[in-house]
């Protein structure tokens, strides 16, 4: 019997020894392809585990020929990898975890819709907090994203006037989300970065999802979706103090402190900042503040609460456009709008007052609750609200004398709720569903911001049947005054005075299936949106307003996709979607400023179809993303109005319909880390964005009567303007010695065309010349940073940062409002007719900052 036991033991040991083996691999960052040294690799269900070396490589002995490895790294989403034989399993890519961005707990994570939450890939690029801090400087968000494939940044000339184009679509066709909260304008979908100038100070990550994206909301993401994830609850106590200097007398100072999550589960954080500067363009000075308050509470592991209040009150002088010849004669910083055009000094609040200033303050508050039921089910809810108070203050003169500052006011009250329930049905099937509710009240009127040389202003139009005078001024150019001293008196308004109420309700859901190498998803959303316009100034009965009939528009979208892993390094995917998008409020009314009359040609939904595919390669040293897309934007209307009698009343309205745009292209993005401390990233985007078919222009009067139907505009095949259809970029950084780094990025723009105006005579014949082509250009930016440790702890340091943008002072045109083609004998510059109204890009600029972190 003893021999028998002994023989069995020898056999068992031999069997175990035979089944043991070695598995090797490399753990890499899925974003940039670099190694993750120290990553944990363990065999699921056992205590066997190892750590990756400095290059991310690991070797683990396993007692079986099949099983599952669990790979994890702080700040990244853990991954399970099945193996059926021993040997090398290649590179294992981990994606940054939205829950662990820069040591911050992301609250409301269930509605933020970051791409890492889904197995089926999309075309996506992520900018992390470290890069935002270093490269943002004194820019708005679009500038930080310019090294992303198919992104074009247009600075606009003054603080906060920047615009972003994504795959050739402007900001009205790109969805911007702040911690899951939609922030595009409810009336027209526009984005005004002057309202969000502080977002870069609190951004913890920014993710650009090109095309269909992973957002589950029924939103207008034709070009894509930009998710801005801000600070919420810090895990540890700490903060920073930063000061920055820049070109044209720019200065910015801010401080931040957080208690971290204390033993009682509470967390408090606050930030306050101030900036001011003269502006790169002449007479575009501005100043503003940024504030941020966060109150968090984590009572237990199943509940996280967070309340945020943030805002960025600011004012800035505006920059006008001019013809190219005027800029060539006066310099690219010239600003005709804000030159002193009166004989006596213009003063407002004791300071020089140019032609116009934008003033705005938009406090935003949201309350988030993350509820975890168990390991398979969770609920995220965000309740939000904002009050926007702002004005464009324009100097009104007569016979060379400044009379008063007229305010064109655009205010709003906005509240909403987004909620999402997520359920992991089993290890292969995941389901979520939710709702999106928005309640919006827009308030628009003209009034007096400040009297200069007069004490009263007589209204040039009647208010409910009688002439009247304006004797009160509101707010001046101070955004805090505008917020706390609003004009609620209809008898002190003139020019136009109306409100609108826009209510939106949507439901959405997603089902995703993933097993082995295959994954697929289906998304659907349905919504309804109602509009009511209320007229005050031109109402028929004295002392009473008039409301329009209620307009209801349903909308929906559907998206589906699939992916297949050829191996752990190679993934193929394809997505498709269809949107039925409601028209914007600004399209629904014949004369949005003066009339409740509906535009009968603008009530139909726009139709958007998107198809895209991609390939992801995740290697040890090189990673790459290849994306192709084809997007159709159909049944849209271009709308314009005109005051033909010069009486400040719009009396002719022109609309061009139905417009159809087709955008297709290819994007390649490559990441590599050829040596320790050295990183390179490059991209190439090739687009073809054209109008499909010809259109007819219809002109009507204020009563909706058709005055004329124009000849067809021959725009079939005409290029879509404003954004370069070929872009390329190369960026790199090198850590010369510990904590001392240099970096640079180069961007090229080509196939850039002027804005298309379909009333232009260039499109009146079949042999039209299309939109004018602007010269190609390239820019180089560079930076240098050094982080000096303070004391023995690594979390206390002083960082010095220098940014130089457009290092070689490239002179280039970033946009044109006209399409005047150059003919023989015309005055031209680089092939462009100098009669075109254009805007030059910025020359060389710089900023230097010092940041103390504790």
* Residue 351 pLDDT grade (very low, low, confident, very high; cuts 50, 70, 90): very low
* Domains defined for the chain, CATH in brackets: 2-95 (2.60.40.1120), 99-230 (2.170.130.10)
**Residue 558 pLDDT greater than 80, yes or no:** yes
* Residue 2 pLDDT grade (very low, low, confident, very high; cuts 50, 70, 90): very low
What is the rounded CA–CA span in Å between residue 444 and residue 446?
Answer: 7
| DSSP β-ladder status, 518-535 and 551-565 | antiparallel
For residue 96, the model assigns a pLDDT of 63
Average pLDDT over residues 702-712: 67
pLDDT in tens, 829-848: 999 999 999 999 999 999 99
Task: Give the chain's end-to-end CA distance (angstroms, integer).
Answer: 71
Question: Nearest-CA neighbor of 679 among 31, 26, 1?
Answer: 31
For residue 99, the model assigns a pLDDT of 47
Average pLDDT over residues 595-599: 78
* Degrees to nearest 5, angle at CA 311 with 305 and 316: 165
**Residue 614 pLDDT greater than 80, yes or no:** yes
Tell me what percent of the residues of the chain surpass a pLDDT of 90. Answer: 46
What is the rounded CA–CA span in Å between residue 698 and residue 703?
Answer: 14
3-class secondary-structure state, position 516: coil
Which residues make beta-bridge pairs with 500? 442, 533
* Residue 532 pLDDT grade (very low, low, confident, very high; cuts 50, 70, 90): very high
Neighbours of 69 (CB within 10 A): 22
* Residue 403 pLDDT grade (very low, low, confident, very high; cuts 50, 70, 90): confident
Evaluate whether 732 touches 670 at the Cβ level (below 8 Å).
no
Average pLDDT over residues 534-552: 85
For tokens 């691999």, name the residue.
25
* Residue 46 pLDDT grade (very low, low, confident, very high; cuts 50, 70, 90): confident
Q: What is the average pLDDT score of the chain?
A: 85
What is the rounded CA–CA span in Å between residue 312 and residue 314?
Answer: 6
For residue 78, the model assigns a pLDDT of 79
* Residue 250 pLDDT grade (very low, low, confident, very high; cuts 50, 70, 90): very high
For residue 757, the model assigns a pLDDT of 64
* Residue 16 pLDDT grade (very low, low, confident, very high; cuts 50, 70, 90): very low
Structure-model confidence comparison of residues 379 and 619, the more confident one:
379
Question: Nearest-CA neighbor of 97 among 201, 207, 221?
Answer: 207
* Residue 707 pLDDT grade (very low, low, confident, very high; cuts 50, 70, 90): confident
pTM for the complete prediction? 0.84
E strands, 138-186, are 151-154, 163-166, 174-178, 181-182
Average pLDDT over residues 484-494: 89
Evaluate whether 639 touches 590 at the Cβ level (below 8 Å).
no
For residue 165, the model assigns a pLDDT of 94
For residue 18, the model assigns a pLDDT of 42
* Residue 160 pLDDT grade (very low, low, confident, very high; cuts 50, 70, 90): confident
pLDDT in tens, 749-777: 999 998 876 655 566 666 667 789 999 99
Which residues make beta-bridge pairs with 565? 571
3-class secondary-structure state, position 776: coil
Most confident of the ranges 525-529, 616-620, 819-823: 525-529
Average pLDDT over residues 542-551: 86
* Residue 715 pLDDT grade (very low, low, confident, very high; cuts 50, 70, 90): confident
Structure-model confidence comparison of residues 669 and 3, the more confident one:
669
Question: Nearest-CA neighbor of 184 among 126, 150, 214, 226?
Answer: 226
What is the rounded CA–CA span in Å between residue 533 and residue 500?
Answer: 4
Of 5-14, 397-406, 511-520, 595-604, least confident by mean pLDDT is 5-14
Question: Nearest-CA neighbor of 223 among 586, 697, 687, 681?
Answer: 687
**Residue 686 pLDDT greater than 90, yes or no:** yes
* Residue 158 pLDDT grade (very low, low, confident, very high; cuts 50, 70, 90): confident
Question: Nearest-CA neighbor of 233 among 419, 105, 136, 132?
Answer: 105
Query: Which stretch of DSSP H or E encloses residue 405?
Result: strand 401-424
């Amino acid at each position: 019997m003893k021999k028998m036991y002994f023989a069995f033991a020898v056999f068992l040991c031999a069997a175990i020894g035979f089944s043991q083996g070695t598995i090797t691999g490399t753990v890499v960052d899925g974003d940039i392809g670099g190694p993750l040294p120290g990553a944990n690799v363990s065999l699921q269900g056992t205590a066997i585990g190892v750590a990756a070396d400095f290059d991310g490589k690991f070797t683990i002995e396993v007692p079986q020929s099949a099983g599952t490895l669990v790979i994890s790294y702080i700040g990244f989403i853990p991954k399970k990898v099945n193996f059926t034989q021993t040997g090398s399993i290649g590179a294992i890519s981990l994606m940054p975890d939205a829950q662990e961005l820069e040591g911050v707990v992301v609250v409301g994570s269930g509605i933020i819709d970051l791409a890492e939450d889904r197995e089926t890939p999309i075309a996506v690029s992520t900018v992390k907090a470290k890069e935002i801090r270093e490269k943002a400087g004194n820019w708005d968000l679009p500038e930080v994203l310019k090294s992303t494939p198919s992104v074009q940044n247009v600075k606009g000339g003054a603080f906060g006037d920047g615009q972003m184009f994504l795959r050739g679509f402007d900001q009205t066709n790109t969805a911007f989300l702040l911690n899951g909260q939609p922030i595009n304008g409810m009336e027209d979908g526009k984005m005004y970065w002057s309202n969000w100038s502080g977002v870069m100070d609190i951004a913890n990550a920014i993710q650009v999802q090109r095309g269909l994206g992973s957002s589950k909301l029924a939103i207008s993401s034709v070009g894509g979706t930009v998710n801005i994830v801000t600070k919420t609850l810090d895990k540890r106590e700490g903060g920073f103090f930063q000061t920055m200097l820049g070109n044209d007398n720019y200065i910015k100072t801010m401080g931040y402190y957080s208690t971290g999550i204390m033993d009682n589960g509470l967390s408090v954080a606050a930030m306050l900042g101030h900036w001011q500067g003269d502006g790169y363009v002449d007479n575009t000075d501005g100043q503003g503040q940024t504030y941020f308050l966060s109150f968090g509470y984590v009572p237990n592991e199943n509940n996280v609460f967070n309340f945020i209040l943030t805002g960025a009150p600011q004012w800035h002088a505006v920059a006008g456009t001019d013809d190219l010849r005027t800029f060539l004669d006066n310099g690219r910083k010239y600003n005709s709008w804000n030159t002193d055009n009166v004989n006596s000094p213009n003063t407002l609040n004791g300071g020089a007052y140019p032609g116009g200033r934008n003033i705005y303050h938009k406090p935003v508050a949201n309350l988030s609750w993350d509820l975890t039921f168990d390991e398979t089910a969770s609920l995220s809810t965000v309740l939000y609200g904002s009050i926007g108070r702002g004005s464009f203050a324009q100097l009104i003169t007569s016979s060379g004398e400044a009379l008063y500052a007229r305010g064109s006011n655009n205010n709003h009250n906005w509240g909403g709720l987004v909620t999402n329930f997520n359920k992991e049905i089993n290890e292969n099937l995941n389901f979520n569903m939710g709702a999106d509710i928005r309640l919006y009240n827009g308030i628009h009127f003209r009034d007096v911001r400040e009297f200069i040389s007069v004490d009263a202003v007589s209204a040039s139009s009647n208010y409910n049947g009688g002439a009247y005078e304006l004797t009160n001024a509101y707010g001046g150019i101070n955004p805090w005054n505008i917020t706390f001293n609003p004009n609620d008196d209809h008898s002190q308004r003139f020019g136009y005075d109306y409100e609108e109420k826009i209510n939106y309700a949507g439901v959405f859901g997603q089902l995703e299936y993933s097993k082995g190498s295959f994954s697929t998803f289906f998304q659907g959303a349905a919504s309804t949106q109602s509009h009511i316009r209320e007229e005050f100034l031109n109402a028929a009965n004295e002392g009473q307003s008039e409301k329009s009939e209620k307009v209801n528009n349903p909308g929906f979208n559907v998206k589906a996709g699939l992916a297949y892993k050829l191996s752990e390094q190679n993934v193929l995917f394809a997505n498709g979607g269809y949107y039925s998008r409601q028209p914007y409020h600004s399209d629904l009314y014949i004369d949005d400023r003066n009339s409740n009359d509906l535009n009968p040609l603008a009530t139909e939904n726009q139709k958007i179809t998107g198809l895209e595919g991609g390939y992801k390669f995740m290697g040890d040293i090189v990673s790459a993303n290849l994306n192709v897309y084809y997007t159709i934007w159909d049944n849209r209307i271009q709308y314009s109005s005109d005051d033909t009698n010069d009486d400040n009343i719009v009396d002719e309205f022109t609309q061009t319909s139905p417009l159809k745009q087709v955008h297709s292209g290819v994007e390649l993005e490559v990441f590599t880390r050829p040596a320790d401390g050295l990183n390179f990233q490059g991209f190439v985007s090739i687009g073809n964005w054209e109008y499909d078919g010809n259109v007819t222009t219809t002109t009507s009067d204020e009563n909706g009567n058709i005055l004329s139907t124009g000849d067809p505009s021959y725009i079939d095949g005409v290029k879509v303007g404003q954004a370069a259809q070929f872009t390329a970029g190369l960026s790199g950084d090198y850590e010369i010695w510990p904590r001392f780094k240099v970096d640079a990025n180069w961007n090229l723009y080509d196939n850039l065309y002027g804005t298309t105006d379909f009333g232009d005579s260039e499109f009146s014949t079949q042999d039209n010349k299309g939109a004018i082509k602007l010269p190609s250009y390239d820019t180089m930016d560079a930076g240098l940073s050094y982080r000096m440790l303070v004391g023995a702890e690594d979390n206390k340091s002083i960082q010095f940062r220098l940014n130089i943008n457009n290092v070689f002072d490239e002179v280039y045109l970033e946009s044109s409002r006209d399409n005047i083609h150059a003919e023989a004998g015309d005055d031209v510059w680089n092939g462009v007719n100098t009669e075109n109204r254009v805007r030059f890009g910025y020359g060389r600029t710089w900023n230097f900052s010092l940041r103390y972190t504790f």
